Chain A
Amino acid sequence: MALDLSMPILVVDDYQTMVRIIRNLLKQLGFEDVDDASDGTAALSKLKQKKYGLVISDWNMEPMTGYELLRHVRADEGLRTTPFIMVTAESKTENVIAAKKAGVNNYIVKPFNAATLKTKIEAVCGA
């Protein structure tokens, strides 16, 4: 199955530079419908207004972290199946295990490259 390039993607990161990097990488991969949010609370609000095909989230944000966002998403009946990739500098094994237990679909440690992001999106979105 080919990647659906028209699917809306939500990028959640409190660093505008990182949002911009991920947006550009997604654009290079052919995705055009990309929104962003600066923390878990803002992301949750956007997720309730629009159906996203993928969430790409940082971990360390204020006031709601990416880990909390993931748990909210997985606990919400309407959102629980939304693919979720964590892109973070949190590189301790316990973080990866906690995220996996909470239902993350894939985990990328920063810094990363376009090829890694593409591979993970393909793995998660079933290309």
Chain B
Amino acid sequence: MPANAAKTARAARERDPISDVRLITRELAEVAEYIAHVKREIGALRANELYRERIPSAHDELGSIVKATASATHTIMAAAEEILCSQEDTFETYRAQVEARVMTIFEACSFQDITGQRITRVVDALGQLEKRLSRFAAAVNARDSETGPVDPEDALRQARKDILLLHGPQDEAAAIAQDDIDALFG
């Protein structure tokens, strides 16, 4: 607004207190509308459903996956160890033992079908979470705070990770190859 126009408008408002009231009323209506909009978006997040159902369910699924993979690994390794330590005297009995253990290994591998289905459900839950959060962030024009509250436990965990270089497995592109490591050790 040009300086003169602003001055004129201000002067007019100074002369007319009703226009001030109208302006404040309009601004309050805009604030109320924005609050209603944010409330709608918070409702659309369905946060209760996420933290009461989807996230605990994903947590349980992941726990079951860990258990199933550990159990299958144990079964497979036990079968392999029995083959390695076989004390059978004849070829026929040795072959029978190996065949029986190989069948055990095949059976144990069926865990992959079940864990695959569980992983699909976890991926779906994460997809829902991502979709709703990104919609919410866009709708309220959210900006990440750099000075917001920090979970002390998370901060401690992060500090330990940084100090002790606990990065975990890397993507293939970011990971150093064994040949490059060997070169470093001459």
Contacts and interface: CB of A to CB of B under 8 A. Distances in A.
Interface of A: 17, 20-21, 24, 27-28, 59-60, 65, 67-68, 89-98, 100, 106-110, 112, 116, 123
A126 B103 CA distance: 41
A65 B160 CA distance: 10
Interface string B76-108: 010011001000000000000000000000000
Contact of A17 (B77, B168, B177, B180): B77
Interface residues of B, number: 23
Nearest to B74: A17
Q: Tell me the dominant secondary structure on chain A's binding face.
A: helix
Contact of A107 (B73, B77, B165, B185): B185
Given A17-B73, A109-B176, A96 B181 contact: yes
Contacts of A68: 164
A44 B81 CA distance: 29
Interface of B: 70, 73-74, 77, 80-81, 84, 164-170, 174-178, 180-181, 184-185
A20 B77 contact: yes
B164 A67 contact: yes
Given A91-B175, A98-B165, 9 more contacts: A17-B70, A28-B84, A60-B166, A65-B166, A92-B175, A92-B176, A94-B165, A96-B181, A108-B178
